Structure 1
């Protein structure tokens, strides 16, 4: 089955927004302060993020955006959605942190929307996006209408707090715990925000871009394995 056949009728967007550059990345992973073991140390790439899309978004994207806009407007939340991004055939609603919980409830409960299921919560770290270094991305599915969208909220590294959506989407429970463990995003109101992958006393959050790459020695039953950048010499 082709990608077009797999999509609901009218789901292909008409256009995508412009991109915005916020800096450049050196090496494959942009790591600093530790040895580059990737072999791509000389690689230099611009850091580019998708920009806001303009109407019409195309297909059912406009139906969802219209329904959400009307519902939020009726509750006095006209500024809840900061911008809408259409990129690579997917639509993302960037939402203000304080309004995230209200937007999620409307997306779940409105008959025109019915995004009943949160399939995943992703953490992202953009160190070059000043004041918005940490992003929490919620992947939502409407089983009623066979549609998928994303909610994205951005917070500064100095204040990494995001309202938990476990009360609205119980499936977000362990996903938010993983995002806390790996990225340090604090989900306020979560019933048990503890580490899920790393030991409770582990320092830092390993999937942040500024985390040392291969600089942590690991012990196995008394034996010590040196970090990758100390195992052999690289030219």
Structure 2
């Protein structure tokens, strides 16, 4: 199979306006990936599937990734001459900025016809709030259907062109996305009438205090008799 660099170069030649770059994986597996701009995502997916040398006809896995806002420190070094004629000094000026977060959909592709792979591709949203749309790759690989629905459900990526985009694990009225890194689980769950373990401990904070028991019956009368001098 071609190297990732060769695949990147052929994509760039085939789609001159597309942004395609290699994202390195520093882990032991060193499973590097191609980051593809969302605008050309489906066109490039079709190319990867139909190209004679690649024939990446099977998507084995699609998953989501949540990247939070990140604070970055930029360091600017300036050489300042010494007025006394001594050696110049290097002064560092540090400024902080925030890189906005984003969501990613990651696809692992194989060729069943040519018995090679994987080739990993990534599509990135504009942010984590109001620009979370990506092109669905289900029209290219049918195996993406349920997996993109799961990503939509748990991460909130909206896959445009998906044939049946709706929640897969959570119920329709659920308002959040449980796999996001800033997700806060509720103290209780409406579908769990008998909470237990950690959920029970959180839910107890919202339970009403126990009602006072009326002091009636023989036991109450006995207590009153015992209280007489």
Shorter-chain TM-score category? 0.5 to 0.7
Conservation of the 8 A alpha-carbon contact between 1:85 and 1:91: yes
1:156-215 Cα shifts (integer Å, max 9, x gaps): 1121000001111111011000000000000011111100100100120111111114x3
Task: Look up the match of 2:55.
Answer: 114
Unaligned 5+ runs, structure 1 = 1-59
2:102 corresponds to 1:133: yes
Unaligned 5+ runs, structure 2 = 71-98, 205-229
2:6 pairs with one of 53, 66, 74: 66
**CA drift at 1:86:** 4.5
Alignment of 1:59-208 (within 5 A): 60=1, 62=3, 64-77=4-17, 79-87=18-26, 88-129=29-70, 130-143=99-112, 144-155=114-125, 156-158=127-129, 159-208=131-180
**CA drift at 1:98:** 0.7
Give the match's secondary structure for 2:149: helix
1:106-153 Cα shifts (integer Å, max 9, x gaps): 111111111110111101111135334211111111221421021111
| TM-score between the two structures when normalised by the length of structure 2 | 0.66
| TM-score between the two structures when normalised by the length of structure 1 | 0.65
Pick the structure with more helix per residue.
Answer: 2
Number of equivalent positions:
171
- Could you list the runs of 4 or more consecutive aligned residues of structure 1 that deviate by over 6 angstroms after TM superposition? none
Q: In structure 2, how many angstroms separate the alpha carbons of the residues matched to 1:231 and 1:222?
A: 11
| CA-atom RMSD in angstroms | 2.5
